[in-house]
Amino acid sequence: MNLPRVGIAAVVAWVVYLFVSYFVHAVLLADVYLRHRAAMRPEEQANAILPVGFLFALVGFFAFAYSYAKGYEGGSGLQEGLRFGVIVGILLCCFAKIWEYMVWPVPGTLLAMWMLDLIVEFTLYGMIVGLVYRPKTVAVRPQSRSGLA
């Protein structure tokens, strides 16, 4: 495993996440969130704890990139990253988003938007990690003609 590349992949994916997440939640879903603001934390409170969310997201991207590297099978980084991202997105939907829906009084349409967003975003992050991560190359010692090293 190439830990420096894991770290670089994690940071690159996290930086992309900061922009994509802002676009999705502050632009695309802004009207939806306004309609359901009674079920959500007031904007001032949310903004006050935003750095905590960014920090935990960075830690999460290190875990994400490390998990990708542990499961890397040697194929195309883009394809392996795509598959990995889809799987992680589905896991997050099934283990986290559904329970947020169970706790917060929001409509099923918002749940569907969140789930679609998670799968699409993590597919993107998986592809980024897959493109950035490179395993360490192993030097192969040439064999002598006699077959003995």
> pLDDT tens-digit profile of 104-145?
888 999 999 999 999 999 999 999 999 999 887 754 566 656
In angstroms, what CA-CA distances link 97 with 29, 108, 111? Answer: 16, 11, 7
Collapse the DSSP code of 85 into the 3-class scheme (helix H, G, I; strand E, B; otherwise coil) and give the result: helix
pLDDT-flagged residues of the chain (< 70): 138-149
Domain ranges (residues) in the chain? 3-132
Written as six digits, the tokens of 135 are 């395993």
The separation between the first and the last C-alpha atoms of the chain, rounded to the nearest angstrom, is 26
The answer to whether 10 touches 129, Cβ cutoff 8 Å, is yes
Q: Supply the pTM of this predicted model.
A: 0.86
Give the integer Cα–Cα distance in Å for 6 and 129: 8
